[in-house]
């Protein structure tokens, strides 16, 4: 378990080993990554259906991984098409 998972595990929905966060918690995770200078590699949004998750949208930042991508990640999380979904944040560690 890394530092982010340790700090935010009590705010995560963990399904299939994936840490998923509600919108405000996902933004907090991104901000913590920025504080720790952990680059965002991507953000995936999911719909929870029962005990399963359905992938919805993907933000792939891996090409620009050395640029942090924190603002892009927050903008993606706040997009109207992602309202009501949960998010997996993929970052360097």
Q: Model confidence over 22-70: pLDDT tens digits? A: 999 999 999 999 999 999 999 999 999 998 999 999 999 988 767 789 9
Please, what is the average pLDDT of the chain? 93
pTM of the model: 0.93
* Exposed e or buried b per residue across 31-67, where buried means at least 16 C-beta atoms within 10 angstroms of its C-beta: ebbbeeebbbbbbbbbeeeeeebeeeeebebeeeeee
CATH class of 3-91: alpha beta
Q: Model confidence over 1-33: pLDDT tens digits? A: 688 999 999 999 999 889 999 999 999 999 999
pLDDT in the model for residue 35: 95
Contact 45, 13 (CB under 8 A): no
Domain residue limits, the chain: 3-91
């Amino acid at each position: 378990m890394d530092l982010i998972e340790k700090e935010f595990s009590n705010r995560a929905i963990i399904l299939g080993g994936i840490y998923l966060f509600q919108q405000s918690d996902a933004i907090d995770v991104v901000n913590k990554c920025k504080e720790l200078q952990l680059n965002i590699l991507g953000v995936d949004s999911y719909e929870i259906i029962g005990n399963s998750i359905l992938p919805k949208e993907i933000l792939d930042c891996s090409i620009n991984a050395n640029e942090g991508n924190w603002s892009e990640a927050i903008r993606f999380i706040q997009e109207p098409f992602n309202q009501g979904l949960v998010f997996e944040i993929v970052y360097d560690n």
